[in-house]
Amino acid sequence: MEADFVIVGAGSAGCAMAYRLSEAGASVLVIEHGGTDAGPFIQMPAALSYPMNMKRYDWGYRSEPEPHLNNRRLACPRGKVIGGSSSINGMVYVRGHAMDYDTWAEMGADGWSYADVLPYFKRMETWHDGGQGGDPAWRGTDGPLHITRGPRDNPLFHAFVEAGRQAGYEVTGDYNGEQQEGFGPMEQTVWRGRRWSAANAYLRPALKRENCALVNGLACRVVLEEGRARGVEVEQGGKRQVIRARREVVLAASSINSPKLLMLSGIGPGAHLAEHGIDVVADRPGVGQNLQDHLELYIQMASRQPITLYRHWNLFGKARIGAQWLFTKTGLGASNQFESAAFIRSKAGVPYPDIQYHFLPIAVRYDGQAAAEGHGFQAHVGPMRSPSRGSVSLRSGRVKEAPVIRFNYMSHEQDWEDFRTCIRLTREIFGQDAFKPYVGKEIQPGTEAQSDAALDAFIADHAESAYHPCGTCRMGRSDDAGAVVDGQARVIGVDGLRVADSSVFPQITNGNLNAPSIMVGEKVSDHLLGRDPLPRANERPWVHPDWQQAQR
């Protein structure tokens, strides 16, 4: 059991690295604790609320009680299945804004500015615009990851974009292209009616090569000898063995499990490790710190017309959609139903969008529970750049014990101000003429909630994670005490060990994290192979010409 590269985690970044490293002729072993992704719950896009709530596919993590959210413990699903969280997520595809990556570079992630990462986004994509417009020059044409758009057959998808235009916002044909800011079609990792996870896009083709194999087991710790990573200790069926790496070990186990594994291996805040009886190999105080996430609210409206997905919200309707999908891979089952979106700025003086919308033509929760009684629709809305930071720490030195996850959500006054702005701007959008034929009463928060205090009470009760944890092994320069990895994703202070997943993000990106996580895997594979990075891009992204004076 030995290979050139040993990767822990067959998730978004891990699958991409397995593909690129094996393509280059290196031998690769990928360690994954979860099992197969076969079956309709994962592969059928419209069934997305099921896998993230199934113990079989999810690590089942929860936050500690969040003091600013009425001590609620929020779910923190992470994929425990091949494909990782790309197999249980909402399949929304967002690269992030150009300025996100320029900020990374300013924070010390050398070589990760937008000009550096855009070529990797292009390399990983095969983009299909479905005749809905877009920026072909900014997009990829022959990568493993197929990106499509839903059919947008429901008139509510168009009402949402038109309402945005009527409210004075930009309309964009491709938020992943030149102009993120504005209202337009949403993109999804769906191909030919199936979830196009990292497992389908990258891992399955990689496993067809003789030099790539999957090992099912629980990674317990990185084996370190004389300051160098030599392999990974894995538990299989109650027995432990070491899988050795001839060249390097790469942790791609998620922003929750990667810092946990580092700490169990003796890499992390020295005093914290000593508390749990772990010998300190490298005292890196930043391991597990800098935890970030997106919170969101569902602003729900009753529909005056029976055109929402609620008409299928019964056993017969679900069975019909499921049968159509099973036999033809078409129909409502073939889309995640997030088919219109928006990115806007909360106020003048904000240079690039800091609010994201997903629009959904039904009023329902992510976990598939509590569909509003009758026809309704909703906008998922939340701020993109919360100043709040949390942490992941060890509960004990035992590998099977869940870590302590403290997001510290809403711990800044700015968080509350941003969320109140989100609610008020959303109400204004639903108040436009484009929605007049459809809008009934406001289901949630409800029109009686107008004052700051009433909105704050609603936020504390109803804000939910958008499931975008990141930042716990952040990239930075080697003289930065809080950094965990350098610009090539090498763990500072340990040889032969890298981290490549959303935990290396210095700051959370605009939007959903699957695309940037795969991009990290793509880029780090070139670093692992000792290749020169792809040539930098010259494209200049659109920025609102009047951003300093105007909100829209």
Question: What's the CA gap between 517 and 531, in Å, rounded?
Answer: 20
Residue listed under structure tokens 């923190």: 76
Question: What's the CA gap between 474 and 374, in Å, rounded?
Answer: 45
Structure-token pair, residue 42: 């994962």
Of 466, 133, 439, which is closest to residue 296 (Cα–Cα)? 466
Q: Beta strand pairing status for 228-236 and 218-225? A: antiparallel
- The answer to whether the beta carbons of residues 18 and 7 sit under 8 Å apart is yes
Of 465, 463, 112, 474, which is closest to residue 291 (Cα–Cα)? 474
Q: How far is CA 534 from CA 46, 126, 528, in A?
A: 36, 18, 14
Structure-token pair, residue 115: 């000009």
Question: What's the CA gap between 425 and 52, in Å, rounded?
Answer: 30
- The answer to whether the beta carbons of residues 77 and 58 sit under 8 Å apart is yes
Structure-token pair, residue 281: 């190999």
Active site residue 468: yes
Residue listed under structure tokens 């003289």: 479
Of 27, 189, 76, 218, which is closest to residue 517 (Cα–Cα)? 189
Task: Name the active-site residue from 97, 375, 468, 544.
Answer: 468
Angle between helices 452-462 and 413-430 (to 10 degrees): 100
Helix (H, G, I), strand (E, B) or coil at 225: strand
Backbone angles phi, psi at 119, to 5 degrees: -60, -30
On the 0-12 / 13-18 / 19+ scale of CB atoms within 10 A, 401 is exposed
Backbone angles phi, psi at 473, to 5 degrees: -135, 60
- The answer to whether the beta carbons of residues 297 and 418 sit under 8 Å apart is no
Structure-token pair, residue 137: 């020059």
Which residues have a catalytic role annotated?
A: 468
